[in-house]
Amino acid sequence: MTSVLHNVRTALDRIDKTDPQINAVLSTLKKESLKRANDLDAGGANGTLHGQTVAVKDNICTDVGATTCGSRILENFRAPYNAHVIDRLLDAGAVIVAKTNLDEFAMGSSTENSGFFTTRNPWDLERVAGGSSGGSVAAVATGMVPYALGSETGGSIRQPAAFCGVCGLKPTYGRVSRYGLVAFGSSLDQIGPVATDVPGLARLLGAIAGRDVRDSTSVDESVPDYLGRLDEPVGKVRIGIAAEYFGEGLDNETGKAVEAAIDVYKKLGAEVHEIHLPHSAYTIACYYIICTAEASSNLARFDGVRYGHRTANPQDYMDVYSSSREEGFGAEVKRRIMLGTYALSSGYYDAYYLKALKVRTLIKNDFVEAFKKCDVILSPTTPTPAFKLGEKSDPLAMYLADIYTCAANLAGTPAISIPCGFTESKLPIGLQLIAPHFAEDRLLQIAAAFQQATEYHQLRPPICATH
The catalytic site residues sit at 57, 132, 156
Three-state SS string over the chain comes to CCCHHHHHHHHHHHHHHHHHHHCCEEEECHHHHHHHHHHHHCCCCCCCCCCCEEEEECCECCCCCCCCCCCHHHCCCCCCCCCHHHHHHHHCCCEEEEEECCCHHHCCCCCCCCCCCCCEECCEEEEECCCCCHHHHHHHHCCCCCEEEEEECCCCCHHHHHHHCCEEEECCCCCECCCCECCCCCCCCEEEEEECCHHHHHHHHHHHECCCCCCCCCCCCCCCCHHHHCCCCCCCCEEEEEHHHCCCCCCHHHHHHHHHHHHHHHHCCCEEEEECCCCHHHHHHHHHHHHHHHHHHHHHHCCCCCCCCCCCCCCCHHHHHHHHHHHHCCHHHHHHHHHHHHHHCCCCHHHHHHHHHHHHHHHHHHHHHHCCCCCEEEEECCCCCCCECCCCCCHHHHHHHHCCCHHHHHHCCCEEEEEEEECCCCCEEEEEEECCCCCHHHHHHHHHHHHHHCCHHHCCCHHHHCC
Selection from 114, 97, 15, 10 nearest residue 62 by Cα:
97
